[in-house]
Amino acid sequence: MVRSLLLLCLLWVGLGYNLKLYAQVPPTFTSTPIETGVFGDAYSYLIETDDADGDAIDLLITGTLPANLTFTDNGDGTALISGTLLQTGSFPITITAQETTGALQSTDEAFTIIVSKRTLTVTADDASRPYGSANPIFSLSYGGFVNGDNSADLDTPPTASTTASIVSDAGTYIITASGGSDNNYDFTY
């Protein structure tokens, strides 16, 4: 077989024709993944590829995207991952660029989307009471909720407390917020 190809090449060149041999090249990714985001933020990664041979490319995804993100192959060697980040954590993803014509070669791009918690600012509201009375139920104010969330959506809401008690002298006492935890939010007091 090699000898036949060599003879054909020599005959072709001997007749004055130029012979060029090309090796099939797998597709390449020309975009850089966006690997970080914050809960509640918009996310958009336009995946772009190139194939030196001009072969058509399909894009496929394996792995689990964060909640509310979608993957769309545009059919032209590009695809889009987009949506609002509604789940925190680490999400390993592999995108495969697969030739649909030619030698059917493929290339993988592996990356991890890391969605971090959003920070809430929690402030204890001012309160007052008459001397000798029990403390009122303290309230908290929040800043930083997204996606329609509120304090009722927190896994463990913060609480407010003070060192003042029913027998404390009249005066000003600090009300302190603490103790909250949640899968999607961190707290600053």
DSSP β-bridge partners for residue 79:
47, 73
Task: Indicate whether this model's pTM tops 0.85.
Answer: no
Q: Could you tell me which residue, 4 or 137, shows the higher pLDDT?
A: 137
Instruction: Report pLDDT digits (tens) over 56-79.
Output: 999 999 999 999 999 999 999 999
Report residue 13's pLDDT band, with 50, 70 and 90 as the boundaries: low
Distance linking the first and last C-alpha atoms of the chain: 77
pLDDT at position 14: 55
pLDDT at 185 over 70: yes
Length of the chain: 189
Residue 41 CB neighbours (<10 A): 14
